[in-house]
Amino acid sequence: MKKHKRDLEHRSFVKGYQAAVQGRSLEVLPYQEHSAMAFHWSRGWREGRKDYWDGFNQFSCQQKAASL
């Protein structure tokens, strides 16, 4: 099994980043609140939202998410 599939915290960060780029709300948190996975997802969401507001277009945000 590849390492990126085992690193669940990184995957939740990337999924949060992608959700922010797609314009989804922080309210759609897919993990139990106050868990480590929720922390990483919301951290990714915040970074994605910041990039989106700073003028990254959706294509460049997707490229960044793919390289994370």
Q: What is the DSSP string of 33-47?
A: TTSHHHHHHHHHHHH
pLDDT in tens, 12-59: 998 999 899 888 998 988 999 899 999 999 999 999 899 888 877 667
Provide the greatest CA pair distance for the chain.
36
Q: Which amino acid belongs to residue 32?
A: Q
The model's pTM: 0.78
Using DSSP, state whether 51 is helix, strand or coil.
Answer: helix
Place of tokens 């709300």: 25
